[in-house]
Structure 1
Amino acid sequence: MSVARESGDRAQELREKARHMTEAAERTTDPEQRRRLQEKAQKLQEQSDQQGNVGSKKARPPK
């Protein structure tokens, strides 16, 4: 498996986890728990974006 594909798979996993965290935050009634879940979801989304960028850079042929 290529590095780009592995990075893309990892980015997809992180996006999925972030989505689940966001959904859990929307369901909870505890404001503090909601804030924590939203923060975790945001961090996962940022990691996902970084993983996706790493994979796409490595997938491009050098100039």
Structure 2
Amino acid sequence: MSVAGESGNRTQQMRDKAQQLKEAAERATDPQERQKLQEQARRLQEQTERQGQNPGAGGNRSQGTRGREK
């Protein structure tokens, strides 16, 4: 499989996981758990969008959290 094909497959898997997290958040009865799942889904969705804009970049997992740590 080509690098582009692997990247596209990985991106699709990440989108699927984000959707699963959103659905789990909708079913969650605990507000804190719901918020946690929604945040995970949002971060994963942002990561897939970055990869979609720059295929082959591989994504930088630490990039999204640097500015939020205080």
TM superposition score category, shorter chain reference: 0.7 to 0.9
Give the conservation status (yes or no) of the 8 Å contact 2:21–2:41.
yes
CA distance in 1, matches of 2:51, 2:3: 11
| Alignment-mate amino acid for residue 38 of structure 1 | Q
Q: Which has the larger radius of gyration?
A: 1
Give the conservation status (yes or no) of the 8 Å contact 1:7–1:54.
no
Report % sequence identity: 54
How far the C-alpha of 1:56 sits from its partner, in A, is 7.5
Q: TM-score, normalised by structure 1?
A: 0.79
How far the C-alpha of 1:54 sits from its partner, in A, is 2.6
- 2:51 matched to which residue of 1? 51
How far the C-alpha of 1:55 sits from its partner, in A, is 2.2
| Larger RCO (alpha carbons 8 Å, 6+ apart) | 1
- 1:38 matched to which residue of 2? 38
- Kindly indicate whether residue 16 of structure 2 is the aligned counterpart of residue 19 of structure 1: no
- Structure with more of its chain in helix, by fraction: 1
Q: TM-score, normalised by structure 2?
A: 0.72
RMSD over aligned Cα, in angstroms? 1.7
What stretches of structure 2 of length at least 5 have no aligned partner?
58-70
